[in-house]
C-alpha cells in the first residue's frame, strides 16, 4: 500500500477528549486557539441544569434530565440552542437533545446494536455492509448528542484513534477493488480537525480504485461554523468526487447560520443530501416533513432518506408507526416535486441495502 501515513506525525491521537459513550475526541482540545468552531464546540452545553435554566424549562424536567444524562451525556452547541424557543418543552429541536425519564424504559425489541454493526466490521473502524461502499468510523465524538442515536451504545473505545491505527482499515479498502466509495462517519467525521481529516483523506485519495468520498455529518446543522473555506478546499481538492450527507430533522433547524453553511456547501460545489429520522413528537406529521423537504430544496439540498427509527435501547419513545411514515410520503408526493421526496427506509441487519418501507 501507499505510505503517505509516514509523513504524518505519529503522535497525533484521533481522540483524547470526553465524547459520547466511550470518552472520545478529535484533537479539538485547545479551545482558545484555532478556528471559531473549536471555541463554539468548547462552549457547548453539557449540563442538564444549565440547559434547563437557559431555556427556562419547567422544574419537572430537571431531575429526569439529570438522571438520563448519565445514560448518554447531554451535549448541545450554542448555535443549535439559539434556534430553540425558550419555555417550550415540546420544541422539536429541544426534544432531540433533552434527556427524558423514558430513556430508562426497557421495551422489547429495542437493543444495543440495533443495526447489526458488529457483524459487518472488516477491520478496526471499518464497516463494510453494502456493495461498493465502505464506511469508516472516524471518531466517536459528536457536536450534539441526539437522544435517539442508533450508535448511543456503540463501542467507540475499540476503534482506531491514531493515524497509524487506520492502516488495517486502509489496507482492507486498498485490497478490495469493488469498493468505489468511502463514507466517513462516526460519531461525526467533521469533529476531526482539518489536519487529521486531511491526512485521512489524502491516504484515501492514494487508493486508486476509490472514486467518491462521502461525508456523513450533522455539524453543518448543529455547528455551522465548521463549514469553513478550508474545509471546502479540503473536500473538493482531491481526485475523488465529494458528497455531503447532512442530518436535519426539522425545518426550524435550517435557519440563520445553518442555512448559510448549507449554501456554502452547495455553492462550493459539493452535492449535498439530507437524511432525517422519523421521530415521534418531533417530525411525524405531513406538515413537519413538507416544511423540512421544501426548506431543504430551497437551499439546494436534496432530501435523501427518511429513516425509520433504529430500535436502539432507550429510544422507544421516539418510534412512530410505519403507517404514519408511509402516509406522510404519500402526501409529500402529492405536494412536492419528485426530487424533494425522500425514500422511507429502515436498516435491516444483514440486508444488502437500506430497506424501503
Ligand X SMILES: *Cc1c(COP(=O)(O)O)cnc(C)c1O
**Smallest separation (angstroms) from ligand X to the CB of 353:** 6
> In terms of CB distance, is 8 or 183 closer to ligand SF4?
183
Which residues here bind ligand X, judged by CB under 6 A? 120, 127, 129-130, 133, 135, 183, 353-354
The whole-angstrom separation of Cα 173 and Cα 21 is: 27
What phi and psi, each to the nearest 5 degrees, are found at residue 45? -80, 125
Binding site for ligand SF4 (CB under 6 A): 142, 144-146, 149, 151, 186-188, 218, 247
35 CB burial (10 A radius; 0-12, 13-18, 19+): middle
CA–CA gap between residue 226 and residue 158 (Å, rounded): 26
Q: How far is the CB of 248 from ligand SF4 (least distance, A)?
A: 11
Nearer to ligand SF4, 8 or 221 (CB): 221
Between 84 and 146, whose beta carbon lies closer to ligand SF4?
146
Note whether 124 and 172 are within 8 A (CB): no
> Given the complex with ligand X, which of 152 and 354 has the nearer CB atom?
354
223 binds, among ligand SF4, ligand X, none (CB under 5 to 8 A by kind): none
CB 296 within 8 A of CB 248: yes
Q: Taking CB within 5 to 8 Å according to partner kind, which of ligand SF4, ligand X, none is near residue 218?
A: ligand SF4
**Nearer residue to ligand X within complex by CB, 83 or 346:** 346
Min CB(149)–ligand X separation in Å: 14
Coil, strand, or helix at residue 276?
strand
The entry of ligand SF4, ligand X, none near residue 127 (CB within 5 to 8 angstroms by kind) is ligand X
Phi, then psi, of 129 in degrees rounded to 5: -110, -35
Q: Is 258 annotated as a binding residue?
A: no
Residue 337 CB coordination number (10 Å): 11
Q: How far is the CB of 246 from ligand SF4 (least distance, A)?
A: 10
How far from the centroid of its chain's Cα atoms is residue 42's Cα?
Answer: 18
74 binds, among ligand SF4, ligand X, none (CB under 5 to 8 A by kind): none
Cβ closer to ligand X: 120 or 167?
120
Q: Tell whether 146 is in a known binding site.
A: yes
For the CB of residue 254, give the shortest distance to ligand SF4 in the complex, in Å.
16
**What residues have CB less than 8 Å from 220, skipping those under 6 apart?**
190, 226, 227, 244, 246, 258, 261, 262, 265
DSSP characters over 217-233? ESHHHH-GGG--HHHHH
The grid coordinates of residue 312 equal 436502539
Residue 142 labelled as part of a binding site: yes
Residue 38, helix vs strand vs coil: helix
Task: Give me the least distance between CB of 121 and ligand X, in Å please.
Answer: 10
Could you report how far apart the first and last alpha carbons of the chain are, in Å?
41
Considering CB distances under 5 to 8 angstroms, the limit depending on partner class, which of ligand SF4, ligand X, none binds residue 354?
ligand X
Give Cα separations from 58 to 55, 99, 144 (angstroms): 9, 14, 22
- Which does residue 188 bind out of ligand SF4, ligand X, none, counting CB within 5 to 8 angstroms by kind? ligand SF4
In the complex with ligand SF4, the residue whose CB is nearer, 8 or 96, is 96
Minimum CB separation of residue 222 from ligand SF4 in Å reads 7
Binding-site annotation: residue ranges: 142, 146, 149
Binding-site annotation: residue ranges for [4Fe-4S] cluster: 142, 146, 149
Amino acid at each position: 500500500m501507499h505510505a503517505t501515513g509516514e509523513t504524518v506525525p505519529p503522535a497525533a491521537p484521533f481522540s483524547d477528549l470526553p465524547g459520547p459513550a466511550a470518552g472520545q475526541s478529535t484533537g479539538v482540545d485547545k479551545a482558545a486557539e484555532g478556528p471559531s468552531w473549536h471555541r463554539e464546540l468548547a462552549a457547548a452545553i453539557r449540563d442538564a441544569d444549565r440547559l434547563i435554566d437557559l431555556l427556562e424549562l419547567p422544574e419537572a424536567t430537571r431531575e429526569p434530565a439529570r438522571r438520563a444524562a448519565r445514560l448518554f451525556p447531554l451535549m448541545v452547541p450554542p448555535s443549535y440552542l439559539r434556534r430553540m424557543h425558550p419555555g417550550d418543552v415540546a420544541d422539536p429541536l429541544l426534544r432531540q437533545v433533552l434527556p427524558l425519564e423514558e430513556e430508562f424504559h426497557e421495551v422489547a425489541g429495542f437493543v444495543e446494536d440495533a443495526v447489526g454493526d458488529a457483524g459487518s466490521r472488516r477491520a478496526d473502524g471499518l464497516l463494510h455492509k453494502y456493495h461498493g461502499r465502505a464506511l469508516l468510523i472516524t471518531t466517536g465524538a459528536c457536536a450534539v448528542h441526539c437522544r435517539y442515536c442508533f450508535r448511543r451504545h456503540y463501542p467507540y473505545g475499540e476503534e482506531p484513534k491514531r493515524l497509524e491505527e487506520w492502516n488495517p482499515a486502509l489496507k482492507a479498502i486498498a485490497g478490495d477493488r469493488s469498493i468505489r466509495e468511502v463514507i466517513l462517519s462516526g460519531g461525526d467525521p467533521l469533529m476531526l480537525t482539518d489536519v487529521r481529516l486531511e491526512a485521512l483523506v489524502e491516504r484515501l485519495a492514494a487508493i486508486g480504485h476509490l472514486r467518491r468520498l462521502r461525508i456523513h455529518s450533522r455539524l453543518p446543522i448543529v455547528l455551522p461554523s465548521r463549514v469553513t473555506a478550508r474545509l471546502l478546499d479540503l473536500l473538493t481538492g482531491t481526485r475523488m468526487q465529494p458528497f455531503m450527507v447532512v442530518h436535519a430533522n426539522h425545518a426550524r433547524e435550517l435557519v440563520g447560520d445553518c442555512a448559510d453553511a448549507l449554501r456554502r456547501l452547495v455553492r462550493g460545489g459539493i452535492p449535498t443530501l439530507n437524511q432525517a429520522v422519523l421521530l415521534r413528537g418531533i417530525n411525524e406529521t405531513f406538515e413537519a416533513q413538507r416544511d423540512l423537504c421544501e426548506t431543504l430544496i430551497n437551499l439546494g439540498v436534496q432530501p435523501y432518506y427518511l429513516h425509520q427509527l433504529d430500535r436502539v435501547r432507550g429510544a422507544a419513545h421516539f418510534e412512530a408507526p410505519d403507517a404514519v411514515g408511509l402516509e406522510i410520503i404519500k402526501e409529500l408526493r402529492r405536494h412536492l416535486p419528485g426530487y424533494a421526496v425522500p425514500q422511507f427506509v429502515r436498516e435491516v441487519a444483514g440486508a444488502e441495502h437500506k430497506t424501503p418501507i
